[in-house]
Amino acid sequence: MKDKSVLHDHLDGGLRPSTIIELAEQSRIELPTTDPQLLEDWFFENISSELNQVFNKFELTISLMQDEESLERIAYEAVEDLTKDGVSKGELRYAPLQHLRGELNPQNVVDSVSRGIKNGMAEFGGNFSSILCAMRQNNDSSQVADLAISNYLNGVVGFDLAGPEYGHPPSKHIEACMKINKSEIGLTIHAGEAANFSYIEDAVSNCKAQRIGHGWQVIEGCVEIGGLFEPNTKAAEYILEEKIPLEICISSNVKSGASDVNKENHPVLKLFKSGFNVTLNPDNRLMASTTLSKEYELAKQEFGLSEDEEDKIIQNTNNSLFENIGY
């Protein structure tokens, strides 16, 4: 198995069904089923973000992540599951302000996740850090940015904007992005997953994002000539020239229902062949029913990714990690 890295993996989207069942029992939260396989299927089915179904599933996982033990356990298990899948370096992301319904304050949340990651690394090896997400529909992104910056020595390497895209363009959070740009923390922004190219333009041009979450809709800023994408907009040209990493998540893009992309027409390989800095990621291992190795397998089977191309994408991903100075 080749040694891989992961840039885009949501902690609240990667829980084990068996852990969900145990934690729900402890906190008396009702589940649609307590059969692990049926529960896994339930998470995989009906995840259209248009219908907000995907956010309802996150609502369930997040409701189980409201105390130190649960957060620590979920982070620890994520490190275990990733390392066993051949991932030796990675960044796990979560939105700390979504975990304050119990007794925790934002710093407790970050400390719990960092402790889980550290303990996971001590047990299973690897080098993992975290990215703090601000939810773009809320008005507290500056607070999350401050939290990320003050936890740079506590395993936090990045800041992200997540949540429903439409109506919440990146520059709505320009203040938080500017804070991050002045700090050691890396800036990645979900853009062009559900929403159109203008959100990608906004992320790179106004917010100066260093990486783009998903971002495959950069093709709207290009013309297709002979199966390759050539930029015909300034933003797409910048993304190509500056090698801005695109955190592509094939299964999740296909499954989320956020766009009409499917396994047959996903532009991942064409983008790669056109020279874009394509990286592969699982996004939500539970909701997209995937792993990083499954994503590479999918790219081989569906798009004919060659061994050399696989090596290059692994290298791209590895080179696109934010700097992890440790804990």
Q: What is the set of active-site residues?
A: 193
Could you report how far apart the first and last alpha carbons of the chain are, in Å? 28
Q: Determine the longest span between alpha carbons in the chain, in angstroms.
A: 57
Tell me which residues in 280-299 interact with Zn ion (CB under 5 A). Answer: 283
With contacts defined by CB under 5 A, how many residues of the chain interact with Zn ion?
1
Rg (CA), the chain: 18
Region from 36-44, 75-83, 107-115, 275-283 binding Zn ion, contact rule CB under 5 A: 275-283
- Whole-number minimum distance, CB 115 to Zn ion, in Å? 24
Question: In the complex, what is the shortest distance from the CB of residue 234 to Zn ion, in angstroms, rounded to a whole number?
Answer: 26
Considering the complex, what minimum distance in angstroms separates the CB of residue 308 from Zn ion? 28
Q: Which stretch binds Zn ion (CB under 5 A): 115-123, 165-173, 228-236, 276-284?
A: 276-284
Tell me whether residue 68 or residue 161 sits nearer to Zn ion (CB atom): 161
**246-248 and 127-135 beta bridge pairing:** unpaired
94 versus 231: smaller Cβ distance to Zn ion: 94
Of all residues in the shown chain, the one whose CB is closest to Zn ion is 283
Helix and strand numbers (H, E) in the chain are 13, 10
> Which residue number, 67 or 283, has a Cβ lying nearer to Zn ion?
283
Report, in Å, the least distance between residue 172 CB and Zn ion.
18
| DSSP E strand stretches across the chain | 4-10, 87-94, 127-135, 156-162, 186-191, 211-214, 222-225, 228-231, 246-248, 278-280
Closest distance of CB 10 from Zn ion, Å: 6
Q: Which is nearer to Zn ion, 111 or 283 (CB)?
A: 283
- 12-41 residues in contact with Zn ion (CB under 5 A) are none
Retrieve residue 23's tokens.
Answer: 């934690």
Q: Are strands 127-135 and 87-94 parallel, antiparallel or unpaired?
A: parallel
Binding flags for Zn ion, 225-264, as an x/- string (CB under 5 A)? ----------------------------------------
Question: Please, which residues bridge with residue 188 across strands?
Answer: 160, 211
Q: What are the angstrom distances between the C-alpha of 81 and each of 121, 225, 276, 290?
A: 11, 41, 29, 12
For Zn ion, which is the closer residue by CB, 72 or 283?
A: 283
Please state the length of the chain.
327
In b/e form, how buried is each residue of 286-318, taking b as 16+ CB within 10 angstroms?
bbbbbbbbbbbebbeebbebeeebbeebbebbb
For Zn ion, the binding residues (CB under 5 A) are: 283
